[in-house]
Chains A and B, each alone.
Chain A
């Protein structure tokens, strides 16, 4: 049965439209091994391998480390909560209108932070400090 980590890694790969073979070639990690940890048959890989996979999946390596349980996510979760809260404020402000040309439907945390910064700069209101 897939673990949470395995399901997460599989989702990342699928979102980028990559096959196991393609990831194998780019990250120099055996496709059989990738398939196994995606299906929960193996423990999360070594941080060195996660670093290589992070590059292929274009996500911060820290994100994979946290998902694999190598790093604690308390600080990250707090930061994420603050950003989500501030972002919710930005999108619900009827006086502020914004739009983006986005690569896919998913708005990453970095993009949300950027939008908040734009909002803060334009409106003169500080959200992240008080969030």
Chain B
């Protein structure tokens, strides 16, 4: 999987917020899944979300990303001061890494930075009491929607398999893996504490 993010024109968080607002202004605030769809579309996601991919995207958005040990109690941290923006993602245990805990956390923090942009533009989406829940839903939705993009690529590859049985097996395996992956995207926040 190529972690390189191909951006033809400078895409920014502000640009993303403007695109989301122009699309959903009539029913503002939009749902997190609507914002996730717009995020996938605006930043040209074509594959399953990986940490490399997200780190690359954040660097292009001039955001510093660090992965380091965090104090017990938090999984990620984001902050903005002047033009400086930084996201810190906590190191995760092996099982949490398999389930995409760090990717989820990075997306959660990114969503909070997006909210900061929405507020600056005068169109806040989240309030102080639902910001955390919204960021969690956004992170799950982005991973889930991006996996659909990854699935489209896989379907293209499978269609080239000539043997009927091999193609059937590949499709079956793909469906099982996709369902499992989607389930982990949604269930991760509930599981993380137990990992």
Could you list which residues of chain A lie within 8 angstroms of chain B, going by C-beta atoms?
Answer: 58, 95-104, 106-108, 110-111, 113-115, 118-119, 122-123
Contact = CB atoms under 8 A, between A and B. Distances in A.
Given A95-B82, A101-B105, A118 B77 contact: yes
B79 A103 contact: no
A101 B79 contact: no
Contacts of B74: 100-103, 111, 114
A110 B74 CA distance: 10
Given A102-B73, A111-B73, A97 B81 contact: yes
Chain B binding surface, main DSSP class: mixed
Given A111-B71, A114-B70, A100 B81 contact: no
Given A95-B82, A122-B81, A122-B84, A100 B71 contact: no
A103 B73 contact: yes
A99 B88 CA distance: 11
Q: Is the contact region of chain A dominated by helix, strand, or loop, or is it mixed? A: mixed
Contacts of B105: 101
Contact of A115 (B76, B77, B112, B193): B77
A123 B73 contact: no
B77 A107 contact: no
Contacts of B108: 101
Interface of B: 70-82, 84, 86, 88, 105, 108-109, 112-113, 115-116, 131-132, 135, 193
Given A99-B112, A101-B105, A122-B84, A108 B71 contact: yes
Given A95-B82, A122-B84, A106 B135 contact: no
Contacts of B81: 95-97, 122-123
B80 A100 contact: no
Given A95-B82, A114-B70, 17 more contacts: A58-B72, A97-B79, A97-B80, A98-B79, A98-B80, A99-B78, A100-B76, A100-B77, A101-B74, A101-B108, A101-B109, A102-B74, A103-B73, A108-B72, A110-B72, A111-B73, A115-B77
